């Protein structure tokens, strides 16, 4: 009897130890709409490797690419409620939720990629990052998303007038809807995964995105005319559920922050080469690229700024961006 209870005690102890070990290893699920190999996917994988190494395996990142966990709007809700821990999404679908994210999503707010980097690496970037806490998120990193331009299945676009009456899918943000309206065209916000067939079936004439998305989502197959109007340069956001973040010790939070920062440098390098690679690939496959004069596009954006930059806080952010050299 005594022997038996000793054994039972030992078994219980072993079970408790095992449970302890198991709970000390946390798997963090991360979502991305892009396919494996895309620069944002690779950057989050790199972040995961650094975190795993530096926490001696206590934290690992399980990445679900290709929208396996859902389209961006849905995954934003999932990460806000803590159903998933991490998410890499564009900043634009946050526009209705976090006012500060409207500023970097405004058309022609950045003069160049360098200008954009300076702004998001500086005080305005910190202000935008801090605002994510309002909706239960911690912004770990801004990644590059390049410039978005229009493409369509019908004709080359050489001027604002060429866009008249055309129908474009836009990312899910009112800024984009109003921007397209200001250019005399019609916008339909819809999830990324629905764009290919919407163009193919003629529900829309085209969409707008950077070269890597135009290429990897295969939109180039169904919309051959790409016009380099470069209307927005929206940074990508890599976020963590605040509920998951709050479970980390301050030491682990520092590890996560440093890993995210290092993944930014990695992503920027990958991004620059992917843009060139995708552009060359779509051109070789028959895409026709036009380069319209941007000034008339810029001049048409007044109503978008009037509608979306109303309060003093956002006005000050826009001014700070304009002043940044």
Residues within the interface to ligand GTR (CB under 6 A): 33, 72, 89-90, 145, 171, 192, 209-210, 213, 236
- Helices (H), ranges, 223-290: 242-245, 250-284
Q: C-alpha distances in angstroms, 11 versus 5, 7, 175? A: 10, 6, 61
Smallest separation (angstroms) from ligand GTR to the CB of 232: 10
CA 280 to chain centre: 23
Question: 234 or 300: whose CB is closer to ligand GTR?
Answer: 234
Question: 214 or 245: whose CB is closer to ligand GTR?
Answer: 214
The encoded tokens of residue 213 equal: 């998305």
Smallest separation (angstroms) from ligand GTR to the CB of 81: 20
Distance (Å, whole) CA 105 – CA 250: 32
Question: 52 or 266: whose CB is closer to ligand GTR?
Answer: 266
Question: 190 or 314: whose CB is closer to ligand GTR?
Answer: 190
Q: What is the spatial order of strands in the sheet that 236-241 belongs to?
A: 59-64, 26-32, 86-90, 236-241, 137-143
Smallest separation (angstroms) from ligand GTR to the CB of 295: 25
φ and ψ of 90, to 5 deg: -70, 160
Smallest separation (angstroms) from ligand GTR to the CB of 257: 22
Put residue 257 in one of left, alpha, beta given phi > 0 → left and psi -120 to 50 → alpha: alpha
φ and ψ of 251, to 5 deg: -65, -45
- Of 170, 127, 177, 121, give the one whose Cα is nearest residue 144: 121
Q: C-alpha distances in angstroms, 79 versus 160, 247, 253? A: 38, 15, 18
* Cβ neighbours, 10 Å, residue 14: 10
φ and ψ of 46, to 5 deg: -60, -45
Question: 204 or 248: whose CB is closer to ligand GTR?
Answer: 204
Smallest separation (angstroms) from ligand GTR to the CB of 143: 8
DSSP assignment letter at 43: H
Question: 54 or 96: whose CB is closer to ligand GTR?
Answer: 96
Tell me if residue 188 falls in helix, strand or coil. strand
Smallest separation (angstroms) from ligand GTR to the CB of 190: 9
Question: 44 or 248: whose CB is closer to ligand GTR?
Answer: 44
Question: 67 or 160: whose CB is closer to ligand GTR?
Answer: 67
Smallest separation (angstroms) from ligand GTR to the CB of 29: 17
The answer to whether 50 and 262 have CB atoms below 8 angstroms apart is yes
Smallest separation (angstroms) from ligand GTR to the CB of 213: 4
Smallest separation (angstroms) from ligand GTR to the CB of 93: 7
Distance (Å, whole) CA 323 – CA 320: 5
Question: 59 or 151: whose CB is closer to ligand GTR?
Answer: 151
Distance (Å, whole) CA 167 – CA 36: 30
């Amino acid at each position: 009897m005594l022997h038996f209870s000793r054994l039972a005690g030992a078994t219980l102890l072993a079970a408790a130890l095992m449970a302890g070990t198991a709970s000390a290893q946390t798997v963090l699920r991360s979502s991305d709409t892009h396919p494996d190999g895309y620069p944002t996917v690779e950057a989050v994988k790199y972040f995961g490797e650094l975190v795993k190494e530096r926490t001696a395996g206590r934290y690992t990142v399980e990445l679900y690419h290709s929208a396996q966990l859902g389209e961006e709007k849905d995954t934003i809700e999932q990460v806000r409620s803590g159903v998933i821990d991490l998410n890499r999404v564009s900043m634009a679908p946050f526009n209705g939720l976090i006012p500060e994210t409207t500023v970097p999503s405004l058309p022609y707010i950045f003069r160049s990629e360098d200008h954009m980097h300076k702004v998001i690496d500086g005080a305005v970037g910190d202000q935008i990052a801090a605002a994510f806490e309002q909706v239960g998120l911690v912004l770990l990193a801004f990644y590059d998303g390049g410039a978005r331009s229009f493409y369509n299945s019908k004709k080359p676009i050489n001027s604002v007038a060429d866009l008249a009456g055309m129908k474009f899918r836009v990312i899910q943000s009112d800024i984009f809807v109003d921007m397209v309206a200001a250019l005399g065209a019609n916008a339909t916000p819809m999830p990324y995964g629905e764009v290919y067939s919407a163009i193919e079936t003629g529900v829309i004439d085209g969409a707008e995105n950077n070269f890597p998305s135009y290429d990897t989502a295969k939109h180039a197959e169904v919309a051959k005319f790409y016009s380099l109007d470069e209307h927005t340069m929206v940074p990508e956001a890599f976020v963590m559920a605040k509920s998951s973040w709050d479970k980390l010790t301050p030491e682990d939070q520092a590890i996560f922050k440093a890993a995210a920062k290092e993944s930014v440098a990695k992503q920027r390098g990958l991004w620059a080469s992917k843009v060139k690679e995708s552009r060359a690939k779509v051109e070789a496959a028959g895409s026709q690229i036009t380069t319209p004069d941007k000034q008339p596009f810029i001049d048409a954006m007044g109503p978008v700024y009037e509608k979306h930059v109303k309060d003093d806080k956002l006005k000050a952010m826009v001014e700070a961006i304009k002043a940044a050299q």
